Copies of this chain bind each other. A is one copy, B any other.
Amino acid sequence: MADKKMYELGAVRSKFSELFEYGQEQAKKIGAENVYDFSLGNPSIPAPDCVKEAIFDMYNTLSSKELHSYTNARGLLEVRQYLADYMNETYNAGVGADNFHITVSSSASLAVLIRALQEDTSDEFIVVAPFYPEYRVFIEPIGSKCVVVPPDTEHFQLSIEGVEQAITPHTRAIIINTPNNPSGAVYSEETIKELAALLTRKSAEIGHPIFLISDEPYREVIYDNLPILYIPHYYDNTIVTYSYSKSLSLPGERIGYILVPPAVDDWQYLMTAILGAARMYGYVCAPSTFQRVIAAVHGATGDISEYDKNRHLIYDNLTRMGYDCVYPSGAFYLFVKAPDGDSIQFMENAKKLNILIVAADEFACPGYARISYCVDSDMIVRSLPAFEKLLAMYK
């Protein structure tokens, strides 16, 4: 009655939300204050006030037709021009309005970009563990191979040897994600330089460019005054996908972009293929009100220092208890090692204590679990005795 592959994709997604729904039910039974839900990546800090102000201002000054008409399929020209100006001012990017395609956020950007890049089903896309499981969903159902680079569990940087081994003559692109979901690691400039050198060498070797897709939804969610690297400065064939879901705390509004800088080989051709793939997938334009919002708020973000407080609260306490945690430099996830290496059982044990965390097996990094600390600080404090009990189960 419908496609079995699509059914299976849908059924898995339903399974994913089971943990969240379990949490909601438990909250009803034992009180919301006794459930410690660290399962989701929904930003806990509010959107900055300027978002609301921009919307009120817009709705008070623009006509319905100005606000709500179809926009250009690539996005409003003035918004793309704003994006170019912003990236040029902030990162000296050297890009123009035509280098941007405004999208219905990160997943849309990646699905469309991967389809635009895929010339043939023999094309392969490389992902680096641990990685956001949806990457696979944009690659495999269109017939391509999703080649996984094993995690660097020593430093949670990227294994250059691993990437080298993953590259074949069929490699079209590699996706990186820094700051990383789920590890919270941030790739160093050295890692990026090494990757760029490898990709340059291997592109020459296989006779066609290997595109570097830099998926950056957590770009500004970075701590300890670490610099934000503009990846295209390090490797010409870099395509950036960005989302305002985290930086502006607007995940439900679905707004982001694809940036194909002018140094990318044949970038205009790729921009047109992106337009075609967006069309095939049923995207007409990104939501018009929120296109205007991103230009109006001019680089504002939510108050990232709130996440930083949570980061210290959970990292310091769990480390003190004896948990083995990856030091979190960005995003809002703490990556914790299962005490006996069995992450599925660790997740189940936590669940018994009403701590909801996600085993990283789905992220291709078994043995670890992801704790989303984009939550109320109070909940972290309340959860600490339960974390003590959880560790005690292993002693």
The answer to whether the Cβ of A320 comes within 8 Å of any Cβ in the partner chain is: no
**8 Å CB contact of A71 from B252, B282, B287:** B252
A371–B108 CA distance with the chains assembled, in angstroms: 33
In the complex, how many angstroms separate the beta carbon of A60 from the nearest chain B beta carbon?
Answer: 9
- Determine whether A158 belongs to the interface, using a CB cutoff of 8 Å to chain B: no
Instruction: Please tell me which one of the listed residues B104, B142, B249, B279 contacts residue A13 in the complex, with CB atoms under 8 A apart.
Output: B279
Q: A6 to B52, Cβ gap below 8 A? A: no
**Chain A, interface residues (CB within 8 Å), range:** 35 or more
Of A39-47, A83-91, A187-195, A346-354, the one contacting chain B is A39-47
Q: Are B109 and A287 in contact (CB under 8 A)?
A: no
Within the assembled complex, what's the spacing in Å between the Cα atoms of A6 and B14? 31
Q: Which residues of chain B are near A12, meaning CB under 8 Å?
A: 276
Greatest chain B CB density within 10 A among A7, A40, A65, A115 is at: A7
- Closest-by-CB residue of B relative to A245 is B70
Residues of B within 8 A of A274 (CB): 2, 6, 10
Q: How far is the CA of A116 from the CA of B46 in the complex (A)?
A: 36
Measured between beta carbons, the chain B residues less than 8 angstroms from A68 are: 47, 249-253
Q: Which B residues touch A289, using CB under 8 A?
A: 252-253, 289
Q: Which residues of B contact A73 (CB under 8 A)?
A: 13, 17
A6 touching B277 by the CB < 8 A rule?
A: yes
- Asked if B1 and A265 make an inter-chain contact with CB atoms under 8 angstroms apart, the answer reads yes
* Residues A141 and B7 in contact in the complex (CB < 8 Å), given A68-B249, A270-B2: no
Give min CB distance, A388 to chain B, whole Å: 29
Contacts A104-B283, A116-B3, A277-B6; A59 near B70 (Cβ below 8 A): no
The verdict on A65 contacting B52 (CB below 8 Å), with A9-B280, A10-B275 known, is no
Known contacts A59-B55, A250-B68, A272-B14; A141/B280 CB under 8 A = yes
Which residue in B6, B17, B290 is a CB contact (below 8 Å) of A280?
B6
Tell me if A183 is interfacial: C-beta within 8 Å of chain B.
no
- B137 and A279 contact, CB distance less than 8 A: yes
A160 at the interface (CB under 8 A from B): no
A33 touches B (CB below 8 Å): no
Q: Pick 8 A–B contacts, CB within 8 A, sort by A.
A: A2-B274, A6-B274, A9-B276, A68-B252, A71-B252, A104-B254, A108-B284, A251-B284
